[in-house]
Structure 1
C-alpha cells in the first residue's frame, strides 16, 4: 500500500536532501507525493510597499513558487514516483502545512532539517 506523503518544498538544500532521500527509499516506502509550496504574502503588509509594487512582488513570488514545484515534481516523476503539487498563498507556512496535512489525511509529512 502506498504511503500518502506531504512534502513541503522550496529552493533550499534541505528540500533537495528530502527529495534525494525519498527517491532513494521509493521501493521501501512506495510513496505517493504531494508537493507543497507556501508563499508568505503577509510579510508584505508590514513593509510600507506601494500596492502596485506589492502586486508585482506577489506575481513574481507565485511564478517562482510554480517553477520550484515543477522542478521538484519533474524529478519525482523521473524517478517513478507519482507526484502532484499545491501552491498556497498565505501566512505562516508551518500552520498551513499542518492544516493541509490534517484536512487531507496524509500518512506522513516529510521535511528535512535546514542545517547545511
Structure 2
C-alpha cells in the first residue's frame, strides 16, 4: 500500500470506519513499519510526510504490533479476516428492489 493510498483513506473516512481499520492493520502487518521493507526513495519520503502526525499515526501507535507469542502475523487481506473490514452482505427480495425499497439498515441518499 502506498502512502498516498493510506492518506486518502484516512482523509476521506470517519474515525473507526472499517476502511481505516484495514489501512492501519495492513500497514502494521505488511507496510513500511513491517520487517524487511524494501521501498524506493520516493516511497520512503512519502511515508515520512504521512507519518508526521494525524489519526493514522495515533491509531498505529495505539495498536502496537500484530506479532503474537507464536510469532505469527495475521495479514488483514487474508480471506479469513474479511469480517473485520467488510460490511455484511444484505439482500432483499427482487420485488422490493423493483419497487425501490431500501435494504434494512440503509438510508435514502
Structure with bigger gyration radius: 2
Higher-RCO chain (CA-CA 8 Å, sequence separation at least 6): 1
More helix by share: 1
More strand by share: 1
Provide the TM-score with structure 1 as the length reference. 0.30
